[in-house]
Amino acid sequence: MIELFVSSVITFFVVIDPLGCAPIYAGLSAGASPIHRRAMAVRAVTVSSIILLVFALVGEKLLHGLGISLASFRIAGGIMLFLIALEMVFERRTQRREDRAAKVAHDPEADDVSIFPMAMPMIAGPGSIATVMLLMARSNGLEASLVVLAAMATILLMTLLALLAAGPLMRLVGTRIEAVITRLLGVLLAALAVQFVMDGLQVSLH
């Protein structure tokens, strides 16, 4: 179970990318008061947690209702995660997030950024939704499912801490170090994505 927890934590960390969300949030909430900034951070993580929990609990039933096998979803999810990994390695993901944040920042009516774009699609985006469904599908039994949910909760808590400390964190880490970390995590995510595809192919061929 320790191995499952560690692998799940790594996967969620790479996909949700708390360190990548922090600088975007710092830029979006630059004009807000400290109290409002903290409130938005808590709201963003709370809403994204609810979204991911719903997909973790009923995602498999949803697939069955749509006539989609778990093997097919694993392959599709693995391909999606691999594309995200490529974007991370070539820094396209960061650029897309910054462009999305810039659009919201230029909208005078977008005072509260907690729901959009922070909760969705930055934290609870397609990649993290696919990931939680994949990991829950791979877990056998209640104990394994609880381990996956505990790993997700750990990363969401880390994301909350990163958002709350977004300003000081960016000054401490710096953009160059963040770019290096993002690329290394992208390579790791690519390997995990390939494993998801191989698992799906193995099940479908038997």
Shortest CA distance to 78 belongs to which of 189, 154, 177? 189
Question: How far apart are alpha carbons 97 and 103 in whole angstroms?
Answer: 10
Where in the chain are the domains?
2-205
pTM comes to 0.71
User: CA–CA distance from 6 to each of 57, 98, 152 (Å)?
Assistant: 21, 30, 11
Counting beta carbons within 10 angstroms of the beta carbon of residue 175, is it exposed (0 to 12), middle (13 to 18) or buried (19 or more)? exposed
pLDDT tens per residue, the chain (206 residues)?
Answer: 899 999 999 999 988 989 878 877 887 776 678 898 899 999 999 999 999 999 999 987 887 888 888 778 778 878 877 887 787 788 765 566 556 566 555 554 446 889 987 898 789 977 788 889 989 988 888 999 999 999 999 999 999 999 999 867 666 766 677 677 667 777 877 887 788 788 888 888 87
